[in-house]
Chain A
Amino acid sequence: MAKAVESSGELGTTSPRPLMRDLKAVGKKFMHVLYPRKSNTLLRDWDLWGPLILCVTLALMLQRSSVDSEQDGGPQFAEVFVIIWFGAVTITVNSKLLGGNISFFQSLCVLGYCILPLTVAMLVCRLVLLAEQGPINFMVRLFVVIVMFAWSIVASTAFLADSQPPNRKALAIYPVFLFYFVISWMILTFTPQ
């Protein structure tokens, strides 16, 4: 799986890593999620900054504004956070147990980045909710969420499916489906009070 390769002293320089390079890498991965195609970028150069940003954004948007300071959005905020990270870790453990050859952090990276379409859906839903409530409002949101949900599934399977043995693909993809379904459900049923 992972082994420590020590090169003490071989490299004369351990120079600081520039910030812009990391930011560009994150941006590039977002692009890869929006236009999924067979590519190794998400897998080869993984990072967890994108998932963190998306998770925090989603959790902030899913907060209910409440008058009562006791329920100041606290439980909902931490809930979203825990669901996303715990869910991603569970899926990763599941895929490793099924014999996948993808590393722990690579899997977390892919699952986290593929939340991007659903975050966009959340944004759209919040804007739509500013308009008049009603069945049309709900239909629009339902449509947006379904499209983005499908987009997330397609993006993540494009990256994850290859890492599984052929007879286990469905077993590995099913939890991913469930994961994004739960997030989509949270987005769809969100109503600001």
Chain B
Amino acid sequence: MGSRKWAVEFTDNSSTPSTRDIPDPPGFTRVPHDQDDSTLSRQKKDAEANWKSQKAWEVAQAPFKNLMMMGFMMWMAGSTVHLFSIGITFSALWQPLSALQGVGKVFAPYKDSKVDLLAPKLLFIALNLGGMLLGVWKLNALGLLPTHASDWVSSLPPAREVEYSGGGIALH
């Protein structure tokens, strides 16, 4: 050992303070991790749950804004079939649909044993369904839904005739 002039210790020994003989820097008090103040942590958890449920409600209400905007856009698009109105209508149908598909994902960050997510989820679903209904209503307003007899009849071929008759004026 006599030949070595210096050495740097790379191993981090901070997790095992007891084995260290070097004193902690001044102002640093080592607090063991597993030792927790129970009252403090409960308070903290409550706040977090509150915050989560608040956020969840906010997320659940977000489609409402969307709904309003869609409504406005639809009103702007008018009732004739063209590229713009079709685009708006299909996005109005698509957005709620994709949102409904990802309900779990949207509320995943707020998942907590203490937070009741059912009500916000229901609101979210309801609002999205409302959006979809709006889209469907618009589709109908554009006349693109087969709700009339004419939509079902037009594709039917004419009925076959049983009898066949020919003739006319005698050929000259």
Partners in one complex: no
